[in-house]
Structure 1
Amino acid sequence: MDWIEALILGLVQGLTEFLPVSSSGHLEIGKALLGVNAEDNLRFTVVVHGATVLSTLIVFRKDILALIQGLFEFKWNESTQYVAKIAFSMIPIAIVGLFFKDQVEELFNTNKILLLVGFMLLITAALLAFTYYAKQKEKDISFRDALIIGVAQTCAVLPGVSRSGSTIATGLLLGNKKAEVAKFSFLMVLVPIIGENILDLFKSDVSQAASMDVSVLLVGFIAAFVSGLLACSWMIKLVKKGKLIYFAIYCLIIGLIAIFVS
């Protein structure tokens, strides 16, 4: 992988991690078009995911700090309940990660990956379109809602199903507040992504990773970090304005193109 490929894929990861268009699907399309090899895939994925985690931490730094301060009050207060809801939402993805990780990884190694991404993008498009016609309510996220949103996040392990799109759309369909749904969606994924990256690091060949050009990884990291900052902030505003229908149209078009090309 050269630095131009790293720049392109880093931008793709940073933008699509937060926009409801499936980062995994777009990364697979990008890797297929650029011809990135499997060894570079793992190391690069770990680096750019780390970049998007950092961008999330910066965007929500005040919220995260408030949650931490609330936890140290050692009371069943609003912060403690919120963290508990996030933990509750992670149960489904934890089950899949612990017991079905190998099966999920096999989906990314199939020679029909573009076809799968295409069909899953159509599902993402349909889910986003439903939110356009759903009646909006303004209720807080309950523990039940958190678990259902967590199930939606688990479905996003499929390449082409958008994690942010599925979780935000599910939250909106449940009648939760728009701003709260966006924040909850981005915060709930921090621990799973960090945990997955740690596991991938243990699986990665350290000697081969050390031989890879650090400047290439740095370019990918910076590209994913900067684009992630912009996309995260932008997505929060878009959810508040209820403009997800445009992403539904985009996913429909890209999904059909992926199916046709495959």
Structure 2
Amino acid sequence: MDELLLLKALILGVVEGLTEFLPISSTGHLIIVGDLLGYTDAQSKVFKIVIQLAAILAVCWFYRVRLLEVVIGLWQPGRERRFVVNILIAFLPALVLGVLFHHAIKTYLFNPLTVAAALIGGGLVILYLEHRPQTPRFTTVDDISWREAFKVGLAQTLAMFPGVSRAGATIMGGLVFGLSRRAATELSFFLAIPTMLAATVYDVYQARAMLVFDDVSVFAVGFIAAFITAMLTVKTLLRYVSNHNFIVFAWYRIGFGLLVLITAYTGLVNWS
């Protein structure tokens, strides 16, 4: 096995784990970094699906106690059943629009320059929202009604455009609709489970012909790197949002997006 290919897998696994749950777009970063590394072939597309699954499992493991409580309490009326209903309602808009537009988005929007533009635009939106006065009406995920869940689900659909960031759309949407920072962040984590799992299963099915045993070691390196990094990122982000806003992520998005556009304009990087 090519050691350089394993190194690329390690780097992209870390990138996925670091960016999936931050409001900076994991898909955008994988497209840009993958292009920079020259890892854009058919194998890379399946690889990115596999490491996304690792990030999902990291969230499931981090919240394993809560998820077990949900499974146990689902069969009777109460908090846990309401939680599941809210997550499913929030997931519904992405499910419907994903089925309708998934192919078109993958075909026409997955390139570094569109991602750079979305990174900058999303950063400006975060700056605007963070400078608005905010008075949270819901301090925990369990406090919200189906209406707030559905509104956040609508916000999540903006992330179908690569570079917007699923985490960014859901967290900012949560803040706009009255959730506290921690509640909006946790809702983003929980909503990621059905959303990313559905997208991953669909993508794996579509790419099933490209799954070959020879790629196992590459996929394993990326999977492990993404799982460990995602676990650390989720834990760190929850601690961070208790005392900070998201402005630093906005400036990062703008800076990174401008860097891609400048390198493209000057010819320093030949983005595909």
TM (normalized to structure 2)? Answer: 0.89
The amino acid that maps onto 1:193 is M
Q: Which residue of 2 aligns with 1:80?
A: 81
Identify the range of structure 1 (120-129 vs 135-144) with the bigger mean alpha-carbon deviation. Answer: 135-144
Q: Does 1:184 align with 2:187?
A: yes
Distance in 2 of aligned mates of 1:61 and 1:205: 29
Identify the range of structure 1 (94-103 vs 132-141) with the bigger mean alpha-carbon deviation. Answer: 132-141
Alignment deviations for residues 191-215 of structure 1 (CA, whole Å, 9 cap, x no partner)? 1211222122222244x42243311
Alignment of 1:164-243 (within 5 A): 164-206=167-209, 208-243=210-245
Alignment deviations for residues 212-234 of structure 1 (CA, whole Å, 9 cap, x no partner)? 33111111001100110011111
Q: Which residue of 2 aligns with 1:130?
A: 128
Superposed displacement of residue 108, structure 1: 4.2
Alignment of 1:94-113 (within 5 A): 94-109=95-110, 113=111
The amino acid that maps onto 2:233 is A
Distance in 1 of aligned mates of 2:8 and 2:236: 25
Cα distance change on mapping 1:66 and 1:205 into 2, 3 Å? closer
Superposed displacement of residue 242, structure 1: 2.9
CA contact (8 A) 2:87 2:149 kept: yes
Q: Which residue of 2 aligns with 1:114?
A: 112
CA contact (8 A) 2:136 2:175 kept: no
The amino acid that maps onto 1:42 is K
Q: Secondary structure at the match of 2:179?
A: coil
Q: Which residue of 1 aligns with 2:54?
A: 51
Distance in 2 of aligned mates of 1:79 and 1:184: 14
Q: Percent identity?
A: 32
Distance in 2 of aligned mates of 1:69 and 1:211: 37
Q: Does 1:70 align with 2:73?
A: yes
Structure 1: runs of 5+ lacking an equivalent: none
Q: Secondary structure at the match of 1:212?
A: helix
CA contact (8 A) 1:238 1:244 kept: no
Distance in 2 of aligned mates of 1:85 and 1:130: 28
Identify the range of structure 1 (124-133 vs 221-230) with the bigger mean alpha-carbon deviation. Answer: 124-133
Distance in 2 of aligned mates of 1:227 and 1:235: 12
CA contact (8 A) 1:93 1:192 kept: yes
Aligned residues: CA RMSD: 1.6
Structure 2: runs of 5+ lacking an equivalent: 139-143, 265-272
Cα distance change on mapping 1:11 and 1:147 into 2, 3 Å? same
Q: Which residue of 1 aligns with 2:267?
A: none
Q: Does 1:31 align with 2:31?
A: no
Identify the range of structure 1 (10-19 vs 236-245) with the bigger mean alpha-carbon deviation. Answer: 236-245
Q: Which residue of 2 aligns with 1:246?
A: 248
> How many residues end up aligned between the 2 structures?
256
Q: Which residue of 1 aligns with 2:19?
A: 16
Superposed displacement of residue 256, structure 1: 0.8
Q: Secondary structure at the match of 1:134?
A: coil
The amino acid that maps onto 2:230 is G
Q: Which residue of 1 aligns with 2:269?
A: none
Q: Which residue of 1 aligns with 2:152?
A: 149
Q: 1:260 aligns with which of 256, 259, 262?
A: 262
Superposed displacement of residue 254, structure 1: 0.4
The amino acid that maps onto 2:45 is L
TM (normalized to structure 1)? Answer: 0.92
Q: Secondary structure at the match of 1:175?
A: coil
Distance in 2 of aligned mates of 1:173 and 1:134: 9
The amino acid that maps onto 1:127 is V
